Structures are given as structure tokens and as C-alpha cells.
Amino acid sequence: MAGLQLDALTKRFDDTLAVDAIDLDIADQEFLVLLGPSGCGKSTVLRLIAGLEYPSSGTVSIGGRIVNDVDPAKRDVAMVFQSYALYPHKTVAQNIDVPLRSQKLPKETRSEMIAEAARALDIADLLGRKPAQLSGGQRQRVALARAIVRRPAVFLMDEPLSNLDAALRVQTRAELVDLHDRLDTTFVYVTHDQVEAMTMADRVAVIQEGKLQQVGPPSEVYDEPANTMVARFIGTPPMNLITGSPTKAPEVAPTDGREVVVGFRPEHVAITPDGWLRGKVLLVESLGHERLVHCEVPGGERVTIRVDPDDAIPHDGEPIGLAPTPGRIHWFDPSTGRRLP
Ligand code: ATP
């Protein structure tokens, strides 16, 4: 059991600053998700924790001990990759046995541990098969079983669900949360998929351009994004962001008269003739359970509104009045992108 601290953790590859001075405290037994777009540096953070990369500067501590110079095998972490990396010529049982053999445990103990991990991941009836005889989801469970079997202090996962189809991803998400609850182990999980982050994490750490943008519970990151980058990245469709002066929203805007970026989520806006934001409907998309109305507002900016399928909505090309819900409007500094109080 161990918490994890990253202190000013930095990794430079030639001319790329992949990880830029990240400070992060991860509590013992926490489920922390590192979330960000492709190339933001999240896998590199995980590899630095695992010891597969050496920091350019800063430190990684596990259980209160700096481990920069500790061999990956001695860090008490286990990592599951997107590719699973199973040995094709070994059976499922032999694959799960690999980390146990290297610990030189007696055969009987190893068999018990393999059986327990297989039970936990519901693959007990597959122990005699080879990876080629398994589905993608089953292979992924074998990789997880191999990682949990030696009870690491920290469990690192790099996009472990990305090879699964949509239905299996939903199921496996729930299983991972359950597994985390049962194992009492710290999980650090990398993904670019905000749904995975929102549904599984105790806290989400949003990374963009190598920098930690925000860390907090999923609801906080969604409801109070720290900057426009986070506001744009979390939420589908993302938060609407329009640059405007407070006079456009006299009832809700900050009072000092400066230009701000006004943000509101697609579900936090009403279509009403009295709306202070005037626009024109460009396109209505019907998704069955909801409709998305895409509008253009003065200045050429685009705004998306989420509407119940039964609600009346204007047609393409019609003018529209929009009233973002007071109390659900966000303001950001146009030059720094930072959230304004
Ligand atoms: P993805 O979701 O696509 O895997 P990521 O957020 O995990 O992306 P990283 O793999 O951490 O991103 O890469 C961060 C940056 O560092 C990228 O610009 C990448 O090209 C660069 N990078 C990563 N590994 C190396 C390396 N070994 N040598 C040079 N550059 C690297």
C-alpha cells in the first residue's frame, strides 16, 4: 500500500518538453486518472512512475521514498499496457505465473495466487488456453490478472481498454472500479477518454502540453474547469466559449467592464425569444435521446445547445435567442484562459 508524489517532475526528449514540472500527490488507495489528448505527456508520466524513463529533473516518490534511482522491478509497481504484451506460446496460467516465478515463490503458493487472480477476473476456466485462443476482452483480463497477482503497491494502467469494443469497454470500466475497491491498491490510469475518467476516477488530473492543468474529483473538473483548455476538453459536446463584453449579459457578468470569455455547457442554456445572446441556427442533429442545435452567434462564433427530443426548436437558418442559465455561467480571462472568480 502506498501513496505517490511527483515533485516538479520533468522529462525532455531532445527538443520536446513531454512533461513540464508536474506536482501531484496521489493518496494511498486512490484511483487517479491522468487524462489528456494524444501527445500531452500522460504516458510519459506513467513511464516515469514505473521507472521505464528517467526524469530530466524532479522526483518520483512511492510510499514517501524517492525512487528516481530505484530499478523498475524494485518499485513495487505493476503496469498494464494497451497492447497487453502476453507471451503467445505460454498458457494463461503460465502468463500470470511470470511475475511470481521471478519472485522465486514455491510452486504451491504460486498456483494458489494464480487461481485467486483468475477468480477475481473471471478467467478461471481459461487458464489452460493460449492467448491466440482468447478474445480481446479475455486477453485484457489476463494482462490485468498478471499485474494484480503480485499485489503491487501501485497499479499503473496505460489505456488498457482501448482495444475493446464499446460494449466491453462499458462492462470492463465497471469491473475495474470493483477491482480497485477489492484490492485496496493505488491505481494510476492513463486515458484520453473523458468518459473513462469521469466514470472511474476518484480524482482526474488533466494534462495538456506536458503541464498539469487541473486535478480534482470528476464533478469538480466538469463543473469548475480551471481554464479554457480544460473547459474545451471535458464534456461532449464541449463547453461553449464566446468572447464578449459584460454588456451582453448584464444580469450575470462581472462588473468591472473588461472583456471576458463567457462559457456555458450545451445543457445549461434555454432557447427563448428574450435570450440576451442572439444567434442563427446552422444545423440540428438528432441523436435519438437528445438533439444538438448548432448556432452561429455575432462575431462568427459557434454555440451548441442540447435539447430534449420532444422540445420545439427552430429550423435551420432561423434566428434564435439564447439564455445561458444564471449560476451555470463561467468566465475566463481571454489572455491567460484562466477561470475568473
Ligand atoms: P498518446 O495518448 O498518443 O499515447 P501521450 O499523451 O501518452 O500520447 P506521450 O507518449 O507521453 O503522450 O508523449 C508526449 C510527447 O513526448 C509527444 O510529443 C511524444 O512525441 C514525445 N515522446 C514520447 N516518447 C518519446 C521518445 N522516446 N523520444 C522522443 N520523443 C518522445
pLDDT tens digit sequence for 297-306: 887 889 999 9
This prediction's pTM: 0.89
Sign of the C-alpha dihedral computed for residues 23, 28, 30 and 31 taken in this order: positive
Question: Domains along the chain?
Answer: 4-229 (3.40.50.300), 240-248+258-332 (2.40.50.140)
pLDDT of residue 250: 46
Q: Could you identify the atom of ligand 1 that is nearest to the CA of residue 46? A: 11
Judged by phi (left if over 0) then psi (alpha if -120 to 50, else beta), residue 130 lies in beta
pLDDT of residue 253: 54
CA atoms within 13 A on the CB side of 224: 8
Site to substitute for ligand 1 among 14, 15, 42, 44, most atoms within 8 A of C-beta? 44
User: Residue whose CA is closest, atom 7 of ligand 1?
Assistant: 43
Confidence of residue 173 (pLDDT cuts 50, 70, 90): confident
User: Residue whose CA is closest, atom 10 of ligand 1?
Assistant: 43
Amino acid in position 139: R
Torsions phi, psi for 142 (to 5 deg): -65, -45
3-state secondary structure of 272: coil
Site to substitute for ligand 1 among 11, 12, 13, most atoms within 8 A of C-beta? 13
User: Residue whose CA is closest, atom 25 of ligand 1?
Assistant: 13
| Separation of alpha carbons 148 and 134, rounded Å | 19
pLDDT of residue 211: 97
From ligand 1's centre to the CA of 331, what distance in Å? 32
User: Residue whose CA is closest, atom 17 of ligand 1?
Assistant: 39
| Separation of alpha carbons 265 and 238, rounded Å | 7
List the helix and strand counts (H, then E) for the chain: 8, 18
- Ligand 1: lining residues by beta carbon, under 6 Å: 13, 16, 18, 36, 38-44, 192
Confidence of residue 119 (pLDDT cuts 50, 70, 90): confident
Cell of 296: 452561429
Which residues neighbour 5 within 8 Å (Cβ) at sequence distance 6 or greater? Answer: 24, 25, 26, 59, 60, 61, 64
pLDDT in tens, 232-289: 999 989 999 998 654 455 445 555 667 788 899 999 999 988 888 888 999 999 888 8
User: Residue whose CA is closest, atom 18 of ligand 1?
Assistant: 39
From ligand 1's centre to the CA of 333, what distance in Å? 30
3-state secondary structure of 15: coil
| Separation of alpha carbons 341 and 330, rounded Å | 9
3-state secondary structure of 63: coil
From ligand 1's centre to the CA of 59, what distance in Å? 19
